[in-house]
Structure 1
Amino acid sequence: MAPPLPLIFFLLMIHGVTSADKGWGGWGLSYSPSHICALKDSTVIMRCTYTYPTGHQIKKVFWTKTLVKYHGEFPDLSNDPEYSQRLQYLGDKQQNCTVRLSHVTLKDSHMYYFRFITDKPDGKWTGKSGVTLTVTGDFDLQVESPERVTEGDSVSLTCKSSCALTDRATFIWYRNSQPLTERRDRNNELLLQSVRREDSGRYSCAVDGHTHVSPDVQLNVTYPPKNVSVSISPSGVIVEGDSVTLNCISDSNPPAEISWFKGGTIVGSGRIFNISKISSDDSGEYKCKSINEHKEKYSDAVTLNVMCELMITSTLVKNLKFIIF
């Protein structure tokens, strides 16, 4: 076998899929996983274990990619010039038959089988279920995320691929096309603990060392009304006959429904409350209520004083007398 080669890039595999070949009397072989998907130029580890009857001694172990015999035996990949410098047997002659294949190419997409031979005349076994290796030059990424979450919830976003990524892969996450500097990822998941409204945005993911970035997925963080207040325009002295606008300011998601109250009586709805040709009867305390699916909240009351022209004239005369005196 060739000397160990440095591991580069990462392996893509489908976890949890195992194939096994079992025979009578203790013969058996198991591959885990049975399907592997790898990026071009990455390193692949094909894991397997094997068993054989007591009294047998292992004489030879090797991997092959065909079940067709040549000169009475399956061809050994370690003797194939296309594999010999890239293939390293990591197993033993007891139960472990794991092998590593470095710098995989698109041509390496194939079915691979392990074979072992004992010292007995009938002591030959091949795991015919094999390992399916698929090598690709690129891969698709997609972010899975709930469409709507509530502020304070814990949220997990998952970066999924056409090939499931192993723990060796390093993920890069983006929000609104900007990389997230805080490392909150676990394997291929981005964890948002106690999500905030500032976490809303377009999320995408990539794998370190590769240029491909997933399409954006929108994360919508909903929250109850906050910072509810009322502004009055004009803000100065209000005279009978003027037009006055009250604006209810409220931060919420989804947008809140607004109701207006004068004292304890509802007088209108909508974010803007207009009073045209205002009269002294409109004087009083006003407040708005902001409500969405999460909660309701009232603003502080504001006082609206409407003055008639006679009151203004009287006030001016008194002030003028005071100044003359």
Structure 2
Amino acid sequence: LLTLGSCGQNFYATMPSNIQALTGSCLVIPCSFTSPQVGSNPVGIWRINHYWYGTNVFTGSQPAANWSGLKVTILGDLKLRNCTTLLEWIGPDNQGVFYFRIEDTYLYQRNPFRYSSPNRPLLTPGGPVMEGMVTSLNCTAPLPCPNQPPSLMWSEALNGTVLWTVLTGINGSLSVSSLLTFTASYRDHQKNITCTAWYPVGSENRSTAASVTLSIWFPPTNTTARLSPTGDIKDGDQVALICNSSANPAANYTWFRANGAAISPAGSGQTLTLTAVTPGDSGRYYCQAENQFGEDNSSVTTLDSLNSERCFYVSKTSLCVCVCVCVCARPLLTKKRNIHQL
């Protein structure tokens, strides 16, 4: 965390308000300052823990100095009011609040900052989008060390394209951005997409990641109707017709019954329950799923009445023969009756 402050009038230093780094890596601190004038020999000083009584980490009398293994180099030209500084070989012993000063015949200024490990990448979705629209996800991660940029990897490319860029903030801080552009599909709804930032540190890589769940608006699709239970259904049994469809937002369901060319509403809701079937319930049934983006019909499910007495059969494509035998008790006579094939 970088906290800005200044001493003296008419002097002000500008650095990022937040700055992050990885142990074992490097860190560039964008830094500039304003002043009425700069002397011929300005001196830049970095201290830790206190701007006046703290331990010197670097002084302008040395082009680079080491403190607890930390290498500090002022990259900017102080005469041009540029105090940009490079920290290398950052170690766990370097934790603390750092202060930067400029000393000249009359110029004095300080600004403290504290560095920490990079946070997770910033993953910005565009919110719910309509199926078929071109949309994008943007993943941004800090770039503390320009010589060792992180790699941004997507868990899935979604048949899209990826554009990688380096961004410079208004305060001079650097970040890397990966823009994933794709066409929204209902198949991607509720997918969990992860962006991982891999930072090279020496011979290893360290990672941090962020995830987002996609939300796609789309009309009903893959609508199906089924009947439970299947198989032989007897007069008086309870039967449930169940409709399923993929849709976002969720679909509303309407059932229809077809007798010949006539089609009539049979009910509403995802499940249509016939509490006690009768031969009059036989027919072809289908459901319609609908939301504000469209509608979709299921295929037909047929409830066949096999005779007028006891037997029903549910079928989508096949026909069934049901034979009932009645025996009349007469002397020396047995009569059989065949029920017609449907």
What's the TM-score once normalised by structure 2's chain length?
A: 0.60
Corresponding residue SS for 2:52: coil
Q: Between Structure 1 and Structure 2, which shows a larger proportion of helix residues?
A: 1
Query: 2:73 corresponds to which letter in structure 1?
Result: Q
Distance 1:254 1:174 in 2: 26
- Change in Cα spacing, 1:213 to 1:183, as seen in structure 2 (3 Å) is farther
Q: Which residue of 2 aligns with 1:207?
A: 197
- Tell me if the contact between 1:143 and 1:203 (Cα under 8 Å) persists in the aligned partners: no
- Measured in 1, the distance between the counterparts of 2:151 and 2:4 equals 25
Letter in 2 for 1:202: N
1:172 aligns with 2:158: no
The 8 Å contact of residues 196 and 207 in structure 2, kept in 1 or not, is answered as: yes
Tell me if 1:33 matches 2:53. no
Aligned to 1:223: 218
Residue 256 of structure 2 contacts residue 265 of structure 2 at CA under 8 Å; is this kept in 1? yes
- Structure 2: how far apart are the matches of 1:271 and 1:135? 53
Q: Is the 8 A contact 1:225 1:296 kept in 2?
A: yes
- Which AA in structure 2 matches 1:197? Y
Instruction: Judge conservation of contact 1:43–1:104 (CA < 8 Å) in 2.
Output: yes
SS of the residue 1:86 aligns to? strand
Coordinate RMSD, CA, aligned: 4.7
1:257 aligns with 2:256: no
The CA distance in 1 between the partners of 2:126 and 2:82, in whole Å, is 45
DSSP-derived class of the 1:68 partner: coil
**In the alignment, which residue of structure 1 is the partner of 2:171?**
none
Contact 1:145 1:219 in 2 (8 A): no
2:313 paired residue number: none
Q: C-alpha deviations, 1:188-242, integer Å up to 9, x for none?
A: 5664533323332334443204555557654444532112244568999x99849
Secondary structure of 2:19's counterpart equals strand
Question: Residues 143 and 204 of structure 1: is their aligned pair in 2 closer, same or farther, counting only changes over 3 Å?
Answer: farther
SS at match of 1:198: helix
Structure-2 residue corresponding to 1:46: 29
- Do the aligned residues in 2 keep the contact of 1:174 with 1:180 (CA within 8 Å)? no
Residue type matched to 2:152 in 1?
A: F
Q: Secondary structure at the match of 2:187?
A: helix
Contact 1:58 1:94 in 2 (8 A): no
Match of 1:250, SS state, is strand
Task: Please name the residue that 2:109 is paired with.
Answer: 127
Counterparts of 2:297 and 2:17, CA distance in 1 = 61
**2:90 match:** 104
- State the distance in 2 between where 1:172 and 1:30 align: 36
**Distance in 1 of aligned mates of 2:293 and 2:138:** 23
Q: Counterpart of 1:156?
A: 137
CA 1:272–1:74 in structure 2 vs 1: closer, same or farther (change >3 Å)? closer
Q: 2:81 aligns with which of 72, 87, 95?
A: 95
Measure the CA separation in 2 of the matches of 1:220 and 1:206. Answer: 20
How far does the alpha carbon of each residue in 1:86-124 deviate from its partner, in whole angstroms, 9 at most, with x for none? 12221123332222111112333322213153xxxxx43
Aligned 8 A contact 1:104 1:135 in 2: no
Equivalent residue in structure 2 for 1:62, among 44, 63, 74: 44
Hey, what does 1:308 align to over in structure 2?
307
Unaligned 5+ residue runs, structure 2?
165-175, 200-204, 310-320, 323-337
- TM-score, with normalisation over the residues of structure 1? 0.63
Shift of 1:34: 4.4
Residue pair 2:58, 2:72 contacting (<8 A) in 1 also: no
189, 193, 212: which one pairs with 2:182? Answer: 193
> Cα offset for 1:262?
1.8
- Name the aligned partner's letter for residue 218 of structure 2: Y
Determine helix, strand or coil for the equivalent of 1:308.
coil
Q: Name the SS of the counterpart of 2:93 in structure 1.
A: helix
